[in-house]
Amino acid sequence: MSCLKTKTTDIKLEAMKVLWGIAQCREVTVDVSGNPDGKFLPLNLIQENYEQLLGYIWFEDAGVDPEPAGKTLLASVPYEDGVDSAEDLASAIKTALEASAYADLLDITVTGAVVHVANKIFGLVDTEGAGDSGFTVEVQKEGLGGDLGKTEQGGITFNMETQTFELKSDQTAEQLLGEINLGNSTTIEMTLIEMTKARFKTLLGSVVGDVYDLGGGEEMIGIGTSKLFKELSALGGRMVLHPLRISDVTDRSEDWSFHLTSPLPNSLNFSGTEQQGLEITFKPYVDESKPAEISVGGLGDWLALLNL
C-alpha cells in the first residue's frame, strides 16, 4: 500500500472577487499639419492585474524620446514630415501598437485618418488629452469600475433559468412529445458592503442613475429622469467573478464572466446596529458580437476570447 495515498474531493468553498466595469474607448484624429515629429500622444490602459498604466506613443524622429514624466512608452511610430499623410500615420500607429508588448490589452482599428483605440480590460483611466501631438482625441466611452470590494456573508448567487415551450398533441393529451428551448435567463445577486462614493458613482450613476456636476469638483450621484427609455444593455459593462483561492488575478482560467451586464440596485439599509450593504442584481444580456455558444458569458479566460 502506498504511503502517499490521499483522499480528494471536488467539494469546495468558493468566495469570489467581484469586478465590474466599462473599458475606455476613444477616437484619435491624426493631424500632420503641425508636424508630429518628436511629439507624443498620451494613451492609458488597464493591465491584466486591473491596475492602470499611464502610457504614451512617441512619433520618432532623429531626436530623443521625450520621456514625459510618469508615463511608459507603449510604442514608437516612425514619421517623415512632408512624406507621410495623416492616413499613413494613422495606419503606422495601428501597426506599432499591434507589434508592442501591450497589443493583447488594446483593440485598434483605423478609418482614414481616425484611429479607434479601445482598452480590452475595464476600469477607470486618468484624463489623457493629446499631449503635444496636435491631434484631436474624443472619448467615446469613459472607462470606469474595477474591484467592487467585499460582499456580505452568504456570498453571491448566480441564478439560471431556462424557458421552454412544451410540445403536446390533442391525441396524446398531457403527455410531452418534446420541448423547445425559448431562452436562458441569468442574474447575479449579492450585497456589497464596502460602498464608497466612487462605487456608488460606478454602480448607481453609470446605468440606471446619473451624475450631476455641481461645479468646483463636486458632483451629485442619484436617480432622475435622464436615463428614462434608454437601452440598458448599451450602458452596461463586463462582470467578472474571480475565485479568491486563485491569488493571481491574471489567471482567468476559472473566472466566471459576462460580456454585457447592467447593475440594478435593489436596496440600501441605514442602521446604527446593522452592517450597511447595497443589495444589487447584475443582469446579463446577449452580446451578439461574441460566439453564439457563449454570447451571454461563461467559465474560462475571457481575455483569451477577446484576443482570438
Task: For residues 177 and 297, state if they share a domain.
Answer: yes
Q: What is the pLDDT of residues 265-289, one digit of tens each?
A: 999 999 999 999 999 999 999 999 9
pLDDT at 131: 94
* Residue indicated by cell numbers 477577446: 306
Q: Answer whether 117's CB lies under 8 Å from 65's CB.
A: no
- If pLDDT is split at 50, 70 and 90, which confidence band does 7 have? confident
What is the overall mean pLDDT for the chain?
94
Task: For residues 76 and 184, state if they share a domain.
Answer: no
pLDDT at 8: 75
- If pLDDT is split at 50, 70 and 90, which confidence band does 239 have? very high
- If pLDDT is split at 50, 70 and 90, which confidence band does 197 have? very high
Task: For residues 78 and 199, state if they share a domain.
Answer: no
pLDDT at 11: 84
- Quick one: average pLDDT of 235-257? 97
Task: For residues 141 and 164, state if they share a domain.
Answer: no
104-122: burial string, b at 16+ Cβ within 10 Å, e else: ebbbbebeebbbbbbbbbb
Supply φ then ψ for residue 96, to 5 degrees. Answer: -65, -40
Share of the chain above pLDDT 90, in %: 90
- From 100, 124, 145, give the residue that closes a domain: 145
Q: Does residue 137 lie within any of the structural domains?
A: yes
Task: For residues 109 and 60, state if they share a domain.
Answer: yes
Q: Which of 233, 209, 243, 242 is nearest to 284 (CA)?
A: 233
Task: For residues 198 and 78, state if they share a domain.
Answer: no
Task: For residues 46 and 116, state if they share a domain.
Answer: yes
Task: For residues 179 and 64, state if they share a domain.
Answer: no
Task: For residues 126 and 185, state if they share a domain.
Answer: no
Say how many domains are in the chain: 2
pLDDT at 83: 87
Task: For residues 75 and 132, state if they share a domain.
Answer: yes
Strands 16-22 and 144-147: antiparallel
Task: For residues 273 and 241, state if they share a domain.
Answer: yes
Share of the chain above pLDDT 70, in %: 98
Is pLDDT of 261 > 60? yes
Q: Does residue 221 lie within any of the structural domains?
A: yes
- Quick one: average pLDDT of 59-81? 90
Report the 10 Å Cβ neighbour count for 200: 17
Q: Please tell me which residue, 308 or 285, carries the higher pLDDT value.
A: 285
Which CATH number belongs to the domain containing residue 130 in this structure?
3.90.1160
Task: For residues 123 and 245, state if they share a domain.
Answer: no
Sequence-distant (≥ 6) Cβ neighbours of residue 175 within 8 angstroms: 168
pLDDT at 81: 86
Q: Does residue 11 lie within any of the structural domains?
A: no
Is pLDDT of 1 > 60? no
Q: Does residue 94 lie within any of the structural domains?
A: yes
Task: Find the domain containing 247 and state its range.
Answer: 157-306
C-alpha to C-alpha distances, 297 to 87, 185, 250, 274, 286, nearest whole angstrom: 37, 11, 18, 35, 8
- Quick one: average pLDDT of 119-126? 96
Q: Answer whether 277's CB lies under 8 Å from 152's CB.
A: yes
